[in-house]
A = this chain, B = another copy of it.
Amino acid sequence: MNIVYQAKQAKESSIKLAAASSEKKNATLENIAKAIDERQKEIITENKKDLEKARKENLSQALLKRLKVDGSKIDEMVISIRSLIKLKDPVGETIECLELDEGLDLYRVRTPIGVIGVIFESRPDALVQIATLCLKSGNAVILKGGSEALHSNRILSKIIKEETDKVSVGCTQLIETREDVKEILALDNYIDLLIPRGSNKFVKFIQDNSKIPVLGHSDGICHTYVDKDADFNKAVGICFDAKCQYPAVCNAMETLLVHKDVAKKILVALKKLYDHAKVELKGDKATQKIIDVKVATEEDWSAEYNDLILSIKIVKDVDEAISHINKYGSKHSDAIITENEETARKFTSLVDSSSVMWNASTRFADGYRYGKGAEVGISTNKIHARGPVGLEGMMIYKYVLNGKGHVVKDYTGDSAKSFTHKKVNKKW
């Protein structure tokens, strides 16, 4: 099958899927959960083929770990699908209703976007997660996995497709040709939104090579700014959490900014904790005068370490902190520690990031913690959806205008009728 044909089929199928009932979609999700559970031997057997090939090709341990599907990963998939069933169906919800005139009501109704293209590296569980999210949100999906997970992706997408085809034939498509991923990136006539899942480099490549909108972020350069009016204990606790609680992730702090007036006390205290946690510290000249750190270069300010490394800069005030963050940050998540509300409001207003924290760790920026139920990704885009994105990022709306024969002519000219434009509490 060729890619364009598959994409076209997904587009056509998306119309019927968008109109599928919640009951139908939830029953299908339950069938998928059951099938994955019942066919786990088969899935694990197929996954072993990929693992063997990966070992032969000396792929990294980290990649092998992400690639591996075992009983507990299958349990997680099943649990995750069942929790998705419990989420409210976003499709068809009336967002608002405006009476334009007597008998002429304008409904704004939530609808799926259409066709979502998902391009992911190595993790077969990502396929299951995203394909079921698409089903719940009424979107057709085109899945393109890495060649290293060929057999795993094939069996999982087959199981899912068998069920979703009963809702709308062709709404789940797996692309597994050898062609370059670039071919998919050019399908802007059929794919409405791309969601890449993988390394920052991978996401950046997708963003740079497609006209299709991309939901995601390529960098997570997060800052914590300790203000002169910071509470000492809060500052120390948050700075430690933001760097050390899980340093490999995008919402971990990479650069610490400290107000000059409190720098000595804070840095000396943090140095002990960071040394104990084996964090490698790099600092600007002013920092070097207070604690023993390596030299931070210009490159450090835009570095995403994803590791136990931290760059430190002493600033003269909140304005310098804000400028630094807007210049070097990645618009992901940045925090201020202060007891001064005015300073906090200045910071939250002027820092141009998707999440801004006041006296809380940047590590909170996450779909689960933000109560999304399911996370589609974290977006640093400036349109559509920003920050941790749940099902709402897969939705758009349409207007339904319900009249009784209304024509525009009656609202023009000398004896034109007026519009009432009155908000009413009606559901479509």
A residues with a Cβ closer than 8 A to B are 14-16, 18-19, 92, 98, 100, 104, 106, 113-114, 192-193, 210-211, 213, 231, 233-234, 237-238, 240-242, 245-246, 326, 346, 348-350, 352-361, 363-365, 369-371, 382-384, 386-388, 396-409, 411-412, 419, 421, 428
Interface pair B399/A245, CB less than 8 Å apart: no
Residue of B nearest to A113 (CB): B382
- Contacting residues, chain B, for A18 (C-beta < 8 A): 349-350, 352
Contact of A401 (CB < 8 Å), options: B240, B364, B405: B364
- A318 CB to closest chain B CB, in angstroms? 13
A354–B19 alpha-carbon span in the complex (Å): 15
- Contacting residues, chain B, for A396 (C-beta < 8 A): 382-384, 386
Residue of B nearest to A397 (CB): B386
Contact of A361 (CB < 8 Å), options: B246, B353, B408: B408
A406–B241 alpha-carbon span in the complex (Å): 9
Contact of A370 (CB < 8 Å), options: B240, B399, B403: B399
Interface pair A355/B401, CB less than 8 Å apart: yes
A19–B242 alpha-carbon span in the complex (Å): 27
Q: With contacts A104-B360, A396-B386 known, is A350 near B19, CB below 8 A?
A: yes
A98–B245 alpha-carbon span in the complex (Å): 24
- A181 CB to closest chain B CB, in angstroms? 17
Q: With contacts A113-B383, A384-B384, A408-B245 known, is A349 near B19, CB below 8 A?
A: yes
Interface pair A405/B370, CB less than 8 Å apart: no
Contact of A358 (CB < 8 Å), options: B233, B357, B402, B419: B402
- Contacting residues, chain B, for A104 (C-beta < 8 A): 360, 364
- A124 CB to closest chain B CB, in angstroms? 25
- Contacting residues, chain B, for A14 (C-beta < 8 A): 352
- A248 CB to closest chain B CB, in angstroms? 14
- Contacting residues, chain B, for A387 (C-beta < 8 A): 397-399
- A371 CB to closest chain B CB, in angstroms? 4
Interface pair A364/B237, CB less than 8 Å apart: no
Interface pair B383/A384, CB less than 8 Å apart: yes
Residue of B nearest to A99 (CB): B371
Interface pair B405/A371, CB less than 8 Å apart: no
Interface pair A234/B352, CB less than 8 Å apart: no
- What are 12 A-B contacts defined by CB distance under 8 Å? A15-B326, A15-B352, A210-B211, A238-B406, A241-B407, A241-B409, A348-B400, A353-B398, A355-B398, A359-B404, A360-B402, A363-B407
A357–B407 alpha-carbon span in the complex (Å): 11
- Contacting residues, chain B, for A360 (C-beta < 8 A): 104, 401-403, 405-407
- A4 CB to closest chain B CB, in angstroms? 16
- Contacting residues, chain B, for A349 (C-beta < 8 A): 18-19, 92
Residue of B nearest to A354 (CB): B398
Interface pair A193/B354, CB less than 8 Å apart: no
Listed from nearest, the 4 A-B pairs whose CB atoms lie closest are A360-B403, A234-B405, A241-B407, A371-B421
- Contacting residues, chain B, for A348 (C-beta < 8 A): 398, 400, 428
Interface pair A358/B407, CB less than 8 Å apart: no
- A412 CB to closest chain B CB, in angstroms? 7
A358–B405 alpha-carbon span in the complex (Å): 8
- A69 CB to closest chain B CB, in angstroms? 24
Interface pair A98/B370, CB less than 8 Å apart: yes
